[in-house]
Amino acid sequence: MDSARHHLMDCGQVKGETVDDVYCEAIQELQGKLVREPPWPSNCCIFRVPSTIRRHNVYAFEPQLVSIGPYYHGQERFQPMETFKLWYLGCLLDRASTRESRLECLFKVIGSNVQHCLDCYAEKDVKCADDFVEMMILDGCFVLELFRKKAGIVPQHPDDPIFKTSYMKKILLSDLLLLENQLPWYVLESIFYLTASHRERADTSLVALALKFFGFSTIRSGAINPNIIPVNKHLLDLQRNNLLSSYASVVPEQTAWHPIPCVTKLLQAGVRFESGESSEMMDVQFKNGVMRIPPIMILDNAESLIRNLIAYEQCDATCRDKITSYAILLNNLIESERDLDYLCQKGIVDCYLNSEEICSFFRRLYSDADVVYYTYAKLSQDVNLYCMARWPTWRATLLRDYFNNPWSILSFVAAILFLFLNFLQVVFSILSYRTAA
């Protein structure tokens, strides 16, 4: 302690010089590096996927065909798609019927709000603002032209490989919903209104176009209703808002989560399962021993979509872990193929993948995710309390072991009737004996 104290006292001078004299240049350099504002602005919404989450399935987070935004921009493997972007932009400008559709107007509108667009990205490595604006316009026009071609608003060229080959469409559907492959909603919305015809603006909206493009390529629960989708931050956020639907207004409290038994064990405890309202995927309810789960359709890119939604919720605190909570609940319920098969029989889960893949998928879906706001805390508590009660378990065992077919029921009724008749015979015998006496 004494030697350390003397060392600190002596640090004020080095060979007769003050610290300011010796380290003046280093101090000035460090002061110049200090950051006065938060690294992530309040409107930051496009993040790099945390390495702890990425490691479970790297391919679920990286684009395979096209780079959108700055995170993968310029990589050699995405250069072929840059030609497609330039072609689509040329097609858009060739049919432009308004002054707003001209290229200089696009640069003016996006460039006037370039800082807002930059602040949407958690990591910024932009050397030239003009290059960034050009990238936003090129990527935004490409995405919107895809939407319009799919919707039939713009005719598809007979030699367009994107719509001529099935593999490109399938990969694009996944690439455009990756967290690291997003554009700010402001960019898409601005380009849409600048380039849309008067008829297009009257007949459709950007939200409706986007939802129609992804169609049945993602998880689905009920019908799409663009009118109830709130303000979006990007395409992935739009998909999340669509999945949450009217349930998005429910704000979970900060609470820990507790696991519940799987479907098979819940059935043994007397819990019954029913299909809930199809329009609200998140609205899982448990009351009087009945769990109602809205039907869900799990399609080809379900793992990629849910993983990116979970990563998004882990980075954006305003999301409140809603999709992550849903993934945890399904993981608890689906422990084996037997659990999944039962939910499929009840019309709750509709799978386009085999049972083994789905079970494996749910078992490792939310690994390393930190859940602060668990949406189903009350439901889990009610389910666990119900399972601790004895009567539901006894009733379920009785139904499973003794009333599992019509012959068992008939045998039970016959046995009860036999006992009742014997009881009557004994009663009449006693009464006859007393009368005789």
Instruction: Verify that 292 and 365 share a domain, yes or no.
Output: yes
pLDDT of residue 50: 93
pLDDT of residue 396: 55
Instruction: Verify that 190 and 64 share a domain, yes or no.
Output: yes
Instruction: Verify that 209 and 354 share a domain, yes or no.
Output: no
- Do residues 289 and 270 make contact, with C-beta atoms less than 8 angstroms apart? yes
Instruction: Verify that 97 and 207 share a domain, yes or no.
Output: yes
Tens of pLDDT, residue by residue, the chain (437 residues): 556 555 545 555 545 556 556 678 888 888 888 877 777 788 899 999 999 999 988 999 999 999 999 999 999 999 999 999 999 999 999 887 666 678 999 999 999 999 999 999 998 877 788 999 999 999 999 999 999 999 999 999 999 999 998 889 889 999 999 999 999 999 999 999 999 888 888 889 999 999 999 876 666 655 556 665 678 999 999 999 888 875 655 666 677 788 999 999 999 888 999 998 777 788 899 999 999 999 888 877 888 999 999 999 999 988 889 999 999 999 999 988 899 999 999 999 888 767 777 777 777 777 888 888 899 999 999 999 888 875 555 565 655 555 556 656 666 666 677 677 777 777 677 767 666 65
Q: Which of 217, 234, 267 is the last residue of a domain?
A: 217
Query: Is 194 within a domain?
Result: yes
pLDDT of residue 96: 73
pLDDT of residue 16: 53
- Sign of the C-alpha dihedral, residues 129, 90, 93, 204? negative
- Do residues 105 and 194 make contact, with C-beta atoms less than 8 angstroms apart? yes
**Which contiguous run of DSSP H or E holds residue 402?**
helix 390-402
pLDDT of residue 142: 98
- Sign of the C-alpha dihedral, residues 230, 234, 238, 244? negative
Instruction: Verify that 59 and 29 share a domain, yes or no.
Output: no
Instruction: Verify that 205 and 60 share a domain, yes or no.
Output: yes
Instruction: Verify that 326 and 411 share a domain, yes or no.
Output: no
Instruction: Verify that 108 and 193 share a domain, yes or no.
Output: yes
Instruction: Verify that 188 and 71 share a domain, yes or no.
Output: yes
Range of the domain at 160: 51-217
For residue 157, the 8-state DSSP code is P
Instruction: Verify that 178 and 266 share a domain, yes or no.
Output: no
When divided into structural domains, the chain yields a total of: 4
Instruction: Verify that 278 and 390 share a domain, yes or no.
Output: yes
Alpha carbon of residue 55 to chain centroid = 18
Q: Tokens 């309202």 belong to which residue?
A: 277
Instruction: Verify that 336 and 289 share a domain, yes or no.
Output: yes
Predicted TM-score (pTM) of the model is: 0.83
